[in-house]
Amino acid sequence: MNQISGNNFILSPGYISGLTQTDGSFFCSIILSPKHRFGIQFRPKYSITADLDSKYVLDSIQAYFNCGKVTINIKKHTAEFVVSKLEDLNNIIIPHFNSYSVFCGKLHAFELLKKIVTALFNKEKRTLEERRELLKLALSMNKTNNRTIERIETLYTLMSIDANEEIVKESQNNPPLALFETRMVTKANSQRLELKEITVTLSDDFISGIIDGDGSFFISFQKEGKIKTGFNITNDPDSRPLLEKIKAQLQNIGSIQEGSKNELVYTVNGINQINDVLIPFIDKSPNIFRKSFTLFKF
C-alpha cells in the first residue's frame, strides 16, 4: 500500500519502518498513580520525531495508519507523530512491524513493547507478580533522563521488589547511577536479543527511510582547491549488523568506523562510488526527501 502526499512524497510501509529504525521510538512511560493497580500506570507509545520542515512526512504517516496525532514544538523546530492509544497500538502499529520489521536494538524495544501492549490490551498480568514483570520489561526498554536512583527505588518499593535479588551483573567501574541501574537489570533485560547477522534482504524503501533519518551528504573544500564529497549514516553501536547489511546491498562501497562518541558511522567518500552507486540508488527511490540531496548533486 502506497500513499502520495501533496508534496509528491510516496510513502510505503518499508519506508515507515526504515524511518522508525532511525528516528522512531518504542517506549513505555511509568507513571505513579494511586488510582491504578499497585500505584503504577503503564503508558506504552510509539513515536517518530522529525525536523519541522519534514512535518508533511509525519502527516503522511499519520494518514497512512489513520491513528495517532502529529504535534509540533516551535522552540525545538521539531514535529512528532505519536500513537499511545492501546487499541491502535495493538491493532495497527504492532501488526505493521510484525510484517515490516525493524532490527537490532530497535527490534528489542519493539518486542518488549509488544509484550506490554498485549498484556494491557487483553487485561492480563494483573497480579502483583505479573505487574512486577511488566515493570521490569518497561524499565529494560530504554533509558530516560529522569530515571534517578530515587525514582527506581520508589517503583521497586511500590511493587515490593528486593533490588538485591535482581542483580544480574555488577561492575566496579560503573558510576553510582549506572551501577544501581545495572543492579536493576532483570531477567527480561538479560535476555536482550543478540546482535546477529541480518540475513534477510532489506527493501530499498527501508534503506531510504534510514537515509532520510540518519543519512547526511557533505561537501568540503580542501587546500589547493580540492573538493571532498561524502555521505554518512550515523547510528548506535548496536546497529552494526544493520549498517553492514546496508553496505553489502550498496555493493560494499564505503566503510564502517567508530565515532568519537561511541557511535558507528558508515561513510562513503569516493566520488566514483557516490556517482556510480549511491546517486543512482537515491534517484530511483521516490521516498527520499530531496532538498539536501538536490543541493548535493548540484
- Pairwise CA distance, residues 243 & 245, whole Å: 5
On the question of a common fold for 3-190 and 204-297, the answer reads yes
- Pairwise CA distance, residues 38 & 58, whole Å: 36
- For the structural domain made of 3-190, what CATH number should be given? 3.10.28.10
Note the pLDDT of residue 168.
Answer: 38
Backbone phi and psi for residue 289, each to the nearest 5 degrees, phi listed first: -65, 125
Note the pLDDT of residue 182.
Answer: 42
Backbone phi and psi for residue 188, each to the nearest 5 degrees, phi listed first: -65, -40
Beta pairing, strands 69-73 & 264-268:
unpaired
Query: Which sequence spans correspond to the domains of the chain?
Result: 3-190, 204-297
Q: Is 107 helix (H, G, I), strand (E, B) or coil?
A: helix
Look-up: residue for cell 544493520? 242
List the chain pLDDT tens, one digit each, 298 residues.
Answer: 444 454 566 799 999 999 999 999 999 998 888 888 888 899 999 999 999 999 999 999 999 999 999 999 999 999 999 999 999 999 999 999 999 999 999 999 999 999 999 999 999 877 878 888 888 898 887 655 456 777 778 888 787 777 665 543 333 344 444 434 444 444 444 444 566 889 999 999 999 999 999 998 888 887 777 778 899 999 999 999 999 999 999 999 999 999 988 899 999 998 889 999 998 998 887 666 544 444 455 4
Note the pLDDT of residue 142.
Answer: 62
Q: What kind of fold does domain 204-297 have according to CATH?
A: Endonuclease I-creI (3.10.28)
HEC letters along 253-283: CCEEEECCCCCEEEEECCHHHHHHHHHHHHH
Note the pLDDT of residue 48.
Answer: 98
Query: For the chain, first and last CA: distance in Å?
Result: 33
- Pairwise CA distance, residues 108 & 236, whole Å: 14
Note the pLDDT of residue 189.
Answer: 44
Note the pLDDT of residue 127.
Answer: 82
